[in-house]
Amino acid sequence: AAFCLYCYLFKSNFKIGQGCSDVFTEVGFTNWKKKDKIRQHVGGVGSVHNQSRQYCVDLMNQKQHIQTVLIKQSDQARIDYRICLTASLDCVRFLLKQGLPFRGNDESDTSNNKGNYVELLQFLADHDEKVKAVVLENAPGNLKLIAPTIQKDLVNACATETIKKIIKDMDGAFFSLLVDESRDISVKEQMAVVFRYVDKRGYVIERFVGIQHVSDTTSNSLKEAIDTLFSREELSISMLRGQGYDGASNMKGEFNGLKTQILRENPYAYYIHCFAHQLQLALVAVAKGNADVATFFTSCNSLVNIVGASCRRRDMLRDQLQKNITEALENDDLPTGRGLNQETSLKRAGDTRWNSHY
């Protein structure tokens, strides 16, 4: 008996009666006196046999194999994702470098200003066709990379890479630790951390490494936050050779202050009271001890309150200052140069504001 392999493999794609029979697939052809039946089975271009044969050829063709097609689609999706991610990171790096906010008040599709991040991404798309094809409305719904959580993840990734670069530049050298605590606008206690070290070229470098949220400003909380930072960045406290803080009791306390707790672990981490803080405290004490100087600062604060409460009075003071600067420049009484003689605003003298009493 004779069978047809093509029809046997793909007979399920056709219905009985559409030129499809079970003679060459199940029963077998045995009527050799009517060989013309074989030619009739093959039929014309669109016959069941020829369609089945084409299915078989496609199946044996590796270029049309489902795995090959999926790999091609996966490669293209990977390329598109890389372009989208690169464009997003370019926007993030620019905003971080310039110190600009990311989000806007209204980031909906109908908004005229969707925030710096989305608007900058749109700007890149408008000037690069490759970027335009894979971002914002042309990106998959779950891969736009514009959600607030995604923006925060990208910022944290940039911060992590920046700190790694700083740690690599330190190259295992001795370093000092500068710490100060303050509250942010949301009234959360935060600890700012700075590393000070000497690089390979012999230059003294100070690098801001981040702001650590602390539950309170007790010495134990600050010490725990520092230990967490050192552990995360794989730094050893034995390489610490200096620590600089302000004069608060929780920082320089002799019994349980932050500097004392660190000295217990590393006696070579010498404590230095911040010189700028010392100078400011000394100037404030002198100013309060002299009646004329104290009266001067009191008058300055009153002047700031009066002028600052009115936009009209601010404009009058600004115009008068501009006239005085112009006259002084014409008479060569003021030096000229880049960054000099800029317009400034009034600031109230404070006990902890550097240069306010200098």
Pairing relationship of beta strands 175-183 and 270-273 according to DSSP bridges: unpaired
Assigned architecture for domain 165-273: 2-Layer Sandwich (3.30)
Indicate the pLDDT class of residue 93, thresholds 50, 70 and 90: very high
Q: Do β-strands 270-273 and 240-245 pair in parallel, antiparallel, or remain unpaired? A: parallel
Map tokens 């399920």 to a residue.
12
CATH 3.30.420.40 in the chain is located at 165-273
C-alpha atoms less than 13 angstroms from C-alpha of 309 in its C-beta half-sphere: 6
96 vs 49, which has greater pLDDT? Answer: 96
Position 336 pLDDT exceeds 60: yes
Residue 95 has pLDDT above 70, yes or no: yes
Nearest-CA neighbor of 242 among 288, 175, 308, 294? 175
167-181 pLDDT, tens digit per residue, is 888 888 889 888 887
> Which neighbouring-strand residues pair with 177?
195, 243
Owner of token pair 């097609």: 69
259: nearest Cα among 249, 251, 267: 251
Residue with tokens 């299915």: 55
Q: Give Cα 93 to chain centroid, integer Å.
A: 7
Percent of the chain with pLDDT over 90: 4
Give 100 or 256, the one with higher predicted confidence: 100
Q: What average pLDDT does the segment 90-117 reach?
A: 86
In whole angstroms, give the CA distance from residue 3 to residue 27.
Answer: 8
Strands 204-213 and 189-198: antiparallel
> Is residue 335's pLDDT more than 80?
no
The pLDDT of 252-269, averaged and rounded, is 80
Residue 312 has pLDDT above 70, yes or no: yes
More confident residue, 358 or 325: 325
Q: String of b and e for 252-268 (b: at least 16 CB within 10 Å)?
A: beeeebbbbbbbeeeee
Q: Chain-wide mean pLDDT for the chain? A: 80
Q: Looking at 15-29, 209-223, 277-291, 328-342, which range is the least confident one?
A: 15-29
Residue 299's pLDDT is what? Answer: 85
DSSP letter, residue 237: G
Query: Sorting pLDDT into bands at 50, 70 and 90, what band is 17?
Result: low
Exposed/middle/buried for residue 134 (C-beta within 10 Å: 0-12, 13-18, 19+):
buried
User: What distances in angstroms separate CA 340 from CA 184, 319, 346, one per listed residue?
Assistant: 31, 18, 17
What distances in angstroms separate CA 227 from CA 58, 138, 221, 237, one per listed residue?
64, 45, 10, 8
Residue 259 pLDDT > 70: yes
In terms of DSSP bridges, do strands 240-245 and 204-213 run parallel, antiparallel, or are they unpaired?
A: unpaired
